[in-house]
Amino acid sequence: MMSLTSMRIAILVFPGSNCDRDMMVAIERLTGRRPSLVWHKESSLDPIDLAIIPGGFSFGDYLRCGALAARAPVIDAVLDHAARGGAIMGVCNGFQVLLETGLLPGVLLQNAGLKYICRNVTVDVCDTIDSPFTQNLETGTRLTMPVAHNEGNYFVGEDKLARLNDNGQIAFRYTDGSAHGPANPNGSSLNIAGIVSANGRVMGMMPHPERAISPELGGSDGATLLQGCLEALAS
């Protein structure tokens, strides 16, 4: 088992990213080691234990959210990392990028209310396949974290949606418990807030755990989620 301070973590940075430094601070706070910030024009990645694609508005969300970022030079290195079984986390815009690469199935449509949403939501941890992103979180645990998106309405065809559900690939679902608005903020199918790949090594989610790492930020449930992921990857 490696120590958290020896973990090698890379955070990808695109023009328009705005959560890369938030994620860097969160990871450094939890591991004691500052992760690398990797510019989108890089064509390779140093050996890493986790790649993180943060939130923001990569390339201004032109064309489609995440579409241009998914074609950046660094993504070839991310795909190679995934092919070797490497762990990848995408948050908000990072989730959108992962869908555009095909590492995760489905699309994120405009919110059902056709409005940008920025508030806290509550999610349930689901009973998933073996995945480092959920294995240290008890099924049914409720986590409150912020969302901030205009396109978070997860959609996939009925057959693929049924397979996600049956295979245990739904990691997080929006649930009651928030006094800030409807439990499902965006109309996402089956209240999906996050999913994992078939091998459990790639995870995308809309809520921002890096924005909920201390009581001073309104809550620390995001730290609970990230800590669980990091400890699972280190074990």
17, 116, 108, 115: which is closest to 57 by C-alpha? 17
Roughly what angle, to the nearest 10 degrees, separates helices 221-234 and 20-31? 60
32-43, pLDDT tens digit by residue?
999 999 999 999
Judging by beta carbons within 10 Å of its beta carbon (0-12, 13-18, 19+), is residue 101 exposed, middle or buried? buried
Residue 121 CA: distances (Å) to CA of 104, 117, 188: 23, 10, 13
Residues taking part in catalysis? 92, 208, 210
Domain ranges of the chain: 4-234
182-198, pLDDT tens digit by residue?
789 999 999 999 999 99
Percent composition of the chain: helix, strand, coil (DSSP 3-state, to 5): 30, 25, 45
Query: Which phi and psi angles does 125 have, rounded to 5°?
Result: -75, 130
Residue 227 CA: distances (Å) to CA of 30, 38, 53, 88, 190: 7, 22, 17, 15, 26
pLDDT of amino acid 207 = 98
d(CA 221, CA 121): 11
Q: Which CATH superfamily is domain 4-234 in?
A: Class I glutamine amidotransferase (GATase) domain (3.40.50.880)
pLDDT of amino acid 162 = 97
Q: If you average pLDDT over residues 197-219, what whole number do you get?
A: 96
